[in-house]
Amino acid sequence: MSNGNGQQQAPCPLCHGTRVNPYNTNSVCPVCEGTGNAYDPGREYTYEMGPLILNGLVGGAATPNAQNAVSLQINRAPFRWMFLLKQSTFPFTIQIKDGTDSHNPFSNQQVHSDNIAGNGTHPMPLLTPFVFGKTTYIEADFTDLGGAQGTAGVTNGSPTVTLNAGGPFNTSPFTGAPYSNTPMWNGNTITIAGVNYVISAVTSQNQLTLAMNYAGATAAAAAFYVPNNIRVAFKGVELSS
């Protein structure tokens, strides 16, 4: 049997290309699942979506809290999606769609990133892989759950930052009981008036402390951004047809 590229594919070792279960002709072959072809183990490949920056400052322009219809094209060969991996500053929610004309989603709503994506040492395997056709798209809607932007009052020589508008400052810890009292923002980067600082501690939704004294000019409403940098990797195998 030949594939779409004109290459000969080996027939299924159980049904020998008949596509029918040889032990019960009323059902499809359980090994090839009715394709008649030998199982294609594929070639290891990873499609990465991102980096995506939400609630940040990119090229002097603020990025929003959410971004929809982020897409990447499956441009090499049909792709069997088998793992979902992520790397991000803070948690986010995501709804993945198959990128066809109907934009069929894989979930009824956006899913928390810790519920759907693993990482390199602890990947989330998909026991029912999905095959994206060549030249189709993977599409996703993202919403940031950790970052924020707005304006804040800052004083030259003081590490204290006081919320003026927008935000609020995120006092939430990372997910999972037992909940620590350490906000997820502690130790992360905040951009104030275009300069990056490290957050020492978030004391409340209206106040935080920098790891060093603010070096810029005193201002009552300096623009601040605490960005969420997101990368999502679709890991799997490329198929020959």
Please report, as ranges, the residues that interact with other proteins according to CB under 8 A: 13-14, 21, 23-24, 26-28, 30-31, 33-35, 38-39, 41, 80-84, 93, 106-119, 121-131, 145, 168, 170-179, 181, 205
Q: Which helix (H) or strand (E) holds 41?
A: none
Which positions ≥6 away from 127 have C-beta within 8 Å? none
Which positions ≥6 away from 92 have C-beta within 8 Å? 54, 112, 113, 142, 143, 144, 145, 146, 228, 230
* Closer of 149 and 222 to other proteins (Cβ): 149
Which positions ≥6 away from 222 have C-beta within 8 Å? 151, 152, 153, 154, 192, 193, 216
* Closer of 113 and 149 to other proteins (Cβ): 113
Least spacing, CB of residue 170 vs other proteins, in Å: 7
Least spacing, CB of residue 89 vs other proteins, in Å: 16
* Closer of 60 and 122 to other proteins (Cβ): 122
* Closer of 74 and 222 to other proteins (Cβ): 74
Least spacing, CB of residue 23 vs other proteins, in Å: 4
Least spacing, CB of residue 119 vs other proteins, in Å: 6
Least spacing, CB of residue 217 vs other proteins, in Å: 31
* Closer of 139 and 214 to other proteins (Cβ): 139
Nearest Cα to 77, choosing from 47, 99, 36? 47
Judging by beta carbons within 10 Å of its beta carbon (0-12, 13-18, 19+), is residue 54 exposed, middle or buried?
Answer: buried
